Amino acid sequence: MNSKLDRRIQYTRMILKESLMKLLKEKPISSITVKELCALADINRSTFYSHYSDQYDLLTQVEEEIIQDMNETLLNYNINQDEESFQMIEKIVEYVAANSDICETLFSENGDPSFKKRVMMLAHDYTVKSWMSSYPVDDSITSEYASLFAISGSIHILEIWLKNGMDKTPKEMAEIINNLTNKGLSSLR
C-alpha cells in the first residue's frame, strides 16, 4: 500500500513539475497561477496544496533538485587534478544535456534569475576552495575573480548551447569549456 501511495505522490509531483516547465516556456513565474498549473496537470487545487504552498514553492523545489544533483556531481571530483577537472566538467555538461528541457527553461528569461546565481555560487564555492589550495594566500582575490569569470562564462556557454539545440556533443562542450577555463582565449588559435 505504501509503495502505491509513493508512486501516486511521485506522479503528482512529476506532472506538476512538467506543467510548471511548460508554462515557464511561455511566461514568467509571476504570471503563472496555481489554478492554471492545476488545470494543465489535471489535478485539483487541494492536491496541489498538499504538496506545495504556491507556484514559487514548486519552482524552488525543482531548482533545489537541480542544485542538489549538481552539488553531488561536483563533490565526486578533485578539481586540482586536470583529468578529474575535465571529467567533472563533462559530467556537468552531460547532466545539463540529460535535463536540457528543464535547464534551458530555468536559465531562460522566464526562469528565476536567482537560480542562475545559485548555480554560479555553487560552482564558484567549489572551485575557489580547490583553487585556493594551489595559489599563495596573496593571490586568493585573483583566484576568486578568475573563478567567477570562468563560471559565469561557462554558464552562458551552456545557455547558448541549449538554445542552439545542443549542436555539439557534451564531450565537445566540456572540451571547449575546459580549454577556455584553463588556457583562455589563446586556446582558440
The 10 Å Cβ neighbour count of residue 124 is 17
19-69 residue pLDDT tens: 999 999 999 999 999 999 999 999 999 999 999 999 999 999 999 999 998
3-class DSSP assignment, residue 17: helix
* Spatial distance between the Cα atoms of 55 and 43, rounded to a whole number of angstroms: 14
Query: Grid coordinates standing for 183?
Result: 588556457
102-161 residue pLDDT tens: 999 999 888 888 888 888 888 777 665 555 555 554 566 666 777 778 888 888 999 999
Q: Which CATH number fits domain 2-56: 1.10.1760, 1.10.10, 1.10.3470, 3.40.50?
A: 1.10.10
* Spatial distance between the Cα atoms of 136 and 119, rounded to a whole number of angstroms: 27
What is the pLDDT, as a whole number, of residue 85?
72
> Whose grid coordinates read 552539488?
71
Query: Grid coordinates standing for 186?
Result: 589563446
